[in-house]
Structure 1
């Protein structure tokens, strides 16, 4: 069944600009749409419709970085008939509006900063922490300099701002203070190239993920992550990962770096 689902995902990447229906996507997998939907969710953690939406927004990010097309043109090119719907979904998923994301990238403010990023983490949504999640991440066979972003999300999709985030300059331990509830822990490992790769070409070397974790009040929880290569079943990462370096997260041995204001919405 995995081959069938991967074939359907390849169709999404090839035809994301088209108004693909569930029937059409299921037909490429040669499965009934009901059975296909169940198998798809079991293998990817989300529905075919959500996966297609993530693909479209990921392609929109690339077009914003690599072309001078207007936001309106890009919205239509990635399959949206409504500019308002595209803008609201992009903003919710990437944490910036399309225009602001482009402006930050062109100003060089989405590139990973130099120096050590390892340090304490903070809640990014203003919530009150109630429990500590301790964890480790290891990276088999990776010797080059990397930056690791570990975040806690309510959904399996890596989008929007993580409720809590830790940034490391190599494998090791991290801590996340989280409110009570169910959380997915996701990690992305980026190469620290010298000079840095263009933003549009920067892809995670490895990713890591946990099962759904139940964090309870005043009860410590532990998770151990292992980096692995991306597969066709992995959803693209929508949030602007390097931008987390500028989000007020404390750096080791230094004060938080505040993101400068950028004109544009």
Structure 2
């Protein structure tokens, strides 16, 4: 079934600027709509519609960093009919309005990480180890707790792991279901003209209880076509010139 989902994702990347329906993607996968939706979620962790939306916003981030197009033009180019709807969705998912995101990316400023929560006995805690498994991050590794499988919006709790620090601790998680997502950039030298690859770590959803500690092991790996892009603004991912990213403060 991965081949079917692969075909659908290739269709999303090729046609994200156009209206793309569930039927279009199911046809590309050569599956019925109902079966396709179920298989797609099993492989990617989210629905086809949310995957499409994430790709559109990811491409919008790239255009804001690397082009001089206005926000209105970009919104139409990534498939939105309303610049207002695009701006609202972008701000909610990335954590910054489009114009502010563009300014920060070009000034090499950090993303809008919230203040790390302090320990609270009424909330849960997640601790764990990020295993590098042969990959070498460019600089930092980011760990965040999100309310959905997509790393979008401000994480409810987060930690930043520098070189040589494999353990993370996420305080202040309210009771409920959370998704722990880990991201970094590959520190190996890319081929000439190639972009640095993203490193990610995912795990199934976890249930947090007040006063309890959840222990996790997460392994970093290179991202694949089945992985959702990281939408939340982070300095290593959102620097206009990645050659300078090692100097980001």
Task: Please give the range of the TM-score, normalised by the shorter of the 2 chains.
Answer: 0.7 to 0.9
Q: Structure 1 pair 202/73, CA: closer, same or farther in 2 (3 Å)? A: farther
Secondary structure, aligned partner of 2:179:
strand
Show structure 1 runs of 4+ deviating over 6 A: none
Secondary structure, aligned partner of 2:80:
coil
Which residue of 2 is the match for residue 186 of structure 1?
Answer: 181
Stretches of structure 2 that go unaligned for 5 or more consecutive residues are 190-194, 238-248
Q: Does 1:131 align with 2:163?
A: no
Of 142, 146, 156, which aligns to 1:153? Answer: 146
Q: Structure 1 pair 202/71, CA: closer, same or farther in 2 (3 Å)? A: farther
**Do 2:136 and 2:187's aligned partners in 1 also have CA atoms closer than 8 Å?**
no
What is the TM-score normalised by the length of structure 1? 0.80
Counterparts of 1:242 and 1:58, CA distance in 2: 15
Map Cα deviations across residues 201-221 of structure 1 (whole Å, 9 max, x no partner): 5652x2101211111111111
Counterparts of 2:187 and 2:99, CA distance in 1: 26
> What is the RMSD computed on CA atoms of the aligned residues?
2.4
Which residue of 2 is the match for residue 231 of structure 1?
Answer: 224
Which residue of 1 is the match for residue 29 of structure 2?
Answer: 29
Q: Does 1:174 align with 2:168?
A: yes
Counterparts of 2:98 and 2:128, CA distance in 1: 34
Stretches of structure 1 that go unaligned for 5 or more consecutive residues are 112-120, 195-200, 245-256, 258-265
**Do 1:109 and 1:243's aligned partners in 2 also have CA atoms closer than 8 Å?**
no
Which residue of 1 is the match for residue 155 of structure 2?
Answer: 162
Q: Structure 1 pair 202/85, CA: closer, same or farther in 2 (3 Å)? A: farther
Map Cα deviations across residues 139-192 of structure 1 (whole Å, 9 max, x no partner): 011346531000001100010111111001135111111222111100002246
Secondary structure, aligned partner of 2:222:
coil
Counterparts of 2:196 and 2:94, CA distance in 1: 15
Counterparts of 1:52 and 1:143, CA distance in 2: 30
Secondary structure, aligned partner of 2:221:
coil
More moved, 185-194 vs 2-11: 185-194
Counterparts of 1:230 and 1:99, CA distance in 2: 28
**Do 2:185 and 2:236's aligned partners in 1 also have CA atoms closer than 8 Å?**
no
What is the TM-score normalised by the length of structure 2? 0.85
Please give the residue correspondences for 1:106-117 in structure 2 after superposition, counting only pairs within 5 Å: 106-110=106-110
**Do 2:37 and 2:47's aligned partners in 1 also have CA atoms closer than 8 Å?**
yes
Counterparts of 1:240 and 1:128, CA distance in 2: 30
Which residue of 2 is the match for residue 5 of structure 1?
Answer: 5
Counterparts of 1:84 and 1:128, CA distance in 2: 41
**Do 1:148 and 1:168's aligned partners in 2 also have CA atoms closer than 8 Å?**
yes
Map Cα deviations across residues 229-261 of structure 1 (whole Å, 9 max, x no partner): 1111101111112289xxxxxxxxxxxx9xxxx
Counterparts of 1:128 and 1:86, CA distance in 2: 39
Which residue of 2 is the match for residue 260 of structure 1?
Answer: none
Deviation at 1:129, TM superposition (A): 6.1
Counterparts of 2:29 and 2:19, CA distance in 1: 17
